[in-house]
Amino acid sequence: MSYIKWHPSFHLIIRNMSKDIHLALIQHAYESDRDQTVQKVSKHIRSAAADGAQIICLQELFSTHYFCSSIEQSNFSLAEPIPGPTTDIMSRLASELSVVLLVPIFEKESVGLYYNSMAVIDADGALLGKYRKMHIPEDPGFHEKFYFTPGDLGYKVFKTAFCNIGTLICWDQWFPEAARLTALKGADLIVYPTAIGTLHEERDADKKEFKDAWKTIQRSHAIANGCYVASVNRVGTEEAASFWGGSFVAGPFGKLLAEGGEEEDVIHARLDLSLLEPQRQTWPFFRDRRVDSYGSIQKRSD
C-alpha cells in the first residue's frame, strides 16, 4: 500500500487549486512613529488572515507619514533598502500566516537614489521582487518629484501562490497605458496602493468630485482589461491633507465588490478567477486592439 506523507506546505498547493481567492485591503492612519505603525499593521494582517484572507495589500508608504506634503531633506532618513528591516518583518509574517503580502516602502537604492516601491512577498515568505512607481506627481501638497526617482523596472506581474498580481502605485492609476501593459503581462488582479485625499483648503464639493473621478478611472481599468482592480488608500488627517480612505475592489466589468469608508478598516473581497476568461471572450478588447495604429502613443504630442 502506498501513501503520500503529509507536509505542512501542502495546504498552499491545495488552496492554490481553487479559482476563488480572498483579498484584504488594510487602510489605516499613521501612528506616532514607524515602529508603532508597523506593529499596528501587523495586528491588522493577523486579523485579516484569521478571517481567511490569502492576499493582503497595504497602502502606499504604509509605514511612514505622508512626508511628501513638504520638502524636507531630513525625510530621506525614512528610506530603507529592499530587502531590509520592514520586508524582513513582513516575510516572517507572510510565512507564518501563509499569506501573500504587498508591502509599499520608501526605498533607498543608494545615496541620492530613492524610489516609491512595493515589495511582493509570497505565502512562503519569499521576496518575489519589487515594483517601483513609474509615474511621479508634483502638485501642491504632493511633492513627490523631490523624493522619488521614476521607476526603472518597468511594469510588473508577479506569479504568487494564489494568482498573478500586477503592481502599480497611486499616480500610476490615472494612466490607462500602465494598466493595459500590466494586464497584457497576465495580471489577474491589479493593485493600486494609494495616498490620496483633499488639501485642508479644498471644499467638500472638491472632495466629492475628486473621489468620484478616482474611483471611475480605476473601475474603467477593470472593464478595459477584464481583470480585478483593488485600490487601498490611507486615512487620517496629516500635515497638508485629509486622506479619505474609500479603499475598494472592482470586478472585471467594473462592479464594486467591496468598499471601505473613511475610518481605519480592513476591506475583504472574494475574487472568482474563473470569471476572467469568459469576460475577455465576451468583451474581446485584447483581440480587437489595433496595435498597428498606436505608434504615436510613444510621442508626447502628434
Catalytic residues: 60, 133, 170
Q: Which helix (H) or strand (E) holds 248?
A: strand 248-250
Name which of 62, 199, 67 is nearest 146 in CA terms: 67
Sequence letter at residue 161: A
Cα distance between residue 32 and residue 23, in whole Å? 28
Q: Which helix (H) or strand (E) holds 158?
A: strand 156-159
Ramachandran category for residue 269: left, alpha or beta (phi over 0 → left; psi -120 to 50 → alpha): beta
DSSP 8-state assignment for residue 149? P
Cα separation of the two ends of the chain: 72
Sequence letter at residue 170: C
Name which of 215, 156, 226, 161 is nearest 188 in CA terms: 226
Can you tell me which residue has the cell 481583470?
A: 227
Cα distance between residue 99 and residue 19, in whole Å? 16
Bridge partner list, 252: none
Sheet containing strand 197-199, strands side by side: 197-199, 241-244, 235-237
125-158: burial string, b at 16+ Cβ within 10 Å, e else: bebeebbbbbbbeeeebbbbebbbbebeeebbbb
The dihedral built from the CA positions of residue 22, 12, 184 and 144, taken in this order, carries a sign that is positive
Can you tell me which residue has the cell 475577455?
A: 280
